[in-house]
Amino acid sequence: MLFLHTSSETNPFPLIFRRTVDGRTPGQPAMEMAIITTIAVIIGALILSIIVGIVVAVLQLSRFSSLRFAGALYVETFRGLPIYVMLLFVYFGVRALLKSMPLPFEIPGVTSATAPHNISLSPFISAVIALGCCYGAYMSEVMRAGITAIPPEEIEAASLEAGRWQVYLHVIFPQALRIILPALVNECIALTKDSSLVGAITLIDLTRSADIYARSTFLYFETFSALALMYLFISLLLSRLQRTLERIFYKDSLVAEAR
């Protein structure tokens, strides 16, 4: 079902993917789509935040003062913005600013389906951008702390035999990951909880779906208790994953030291 395509031969995108990013969910059970939407928002925002975090962390550690300033400006700006305000800004503000800009092709969730393909950010894409940009600032601080915790002599020794990006890929990032793993998972848990705010921009996620159901049935206590347990379950899964990864990294470090 996840790879069910539409009948149009010119549309290569899976139907479930298009419905999620476009915010159109006809014919699908409400709870099923709410769960898919919530998981998709979390994964999409997490990937974007990690990419942004790595780039901004590298900027802040650059030898050039202008790049360091740009990285610091990004961090201070997006750490100072509430998630709720950022969601409204991207969905209503950025969307209105870009709506008159057409693209030569369709991008699900970003442009309109019919020509001219004007930019029209869907609630899903807006939520991913807002959460990803805000948490990218937090991720960059976590990654910067992990990179600066690596002994400088190790980096200098590796720099003698490899290029700058090879040093980052093979020396700095693997060691930094072991250091920042607990903080990284904490940010993932925080992002999971903040994803419950995306209903503010009409996205039907778990929280919004539970709110609609509770208002229609007046089962407020039962509905929101179940909702709280769902988010708690996701957070516990992430915590369990953290402990598992820590054991794996600890064993790998022991093997490396033994060699």
Span 49-89, pLDDT tens digits: 999 999 999 899 888 999 999 999 999 999 999 999 999 99
Task: For residues 140 and 146, give the distance between their C-alpha atoms in angstroms, rounded to a whole number.
Answer: 10
Residue 117, domain CATH? 1.10.3720.10
Provide the pLDDT for residue 84.
Answer: 95
Asked whether the predicted pLDDT for residue 41 surpasses 60, the reply is: yes
Cβ of 104: how many Cβ atoms within 10 Å? 8
Provide the pLDDT for residue 43.
Answer: 93
Provide the pLDDT for residue 31.
Answer: 76
pTM of the complete model: 0.81
For the chain, what is the domain count? Answer: 1
Give domain status of residue 19, yes or no: no
Give domain status of residue 202, yes or no: yes
| Residue 134: burial class (beta carbons within 10 Å; 0-12, 13-18, 19+) | buried
User: How many H helices and E strands in the chain?
Assistant: 11, 2
Which residue segment(s) compose the domain that 63 sits in?
31-258
Instruction: Say which residue, 55 or 178, is predicted with more confidence.
Output: 55
Give domain status of residue 26, yes or no: no
Q: What percent of the chain has pLDDT over 70?
A: 83
Give domain status of residue 11, yes or no: no
Give domain status of residue 15, yes or no: no
Pair of tokens at residue 241: 């994953």
**Max Cα–Cα distance, the chain, nearest Å:** 68
Minimal CA–CA distance to 52: which of 150, 135, 127, 173? 135
Provide the pLDDT for residue 160.
Answer: 74
Task: For residues 173 and 61, give the distance between their C-alpha atoms in angstroms, rounded to a whole number.
Answer: 13
Give domain status of residue 61, yes or no: yes
Condensed to tens digits (0 to 9), the pLDDT of residues 203-236 reads: 988 999 899 889 988 999 999 999 999 999 989 9
Asked whether the predicted pLDDT for residue 45 surpasses 60, the reply is: yes
Give domain status of residue 9, yes or no: no
Average pLDDT, the chain: 82
Minimal CA–CA distance to 58: which of 72, 46, 47? 72
Give domain status of residue 160, yes or no: yes
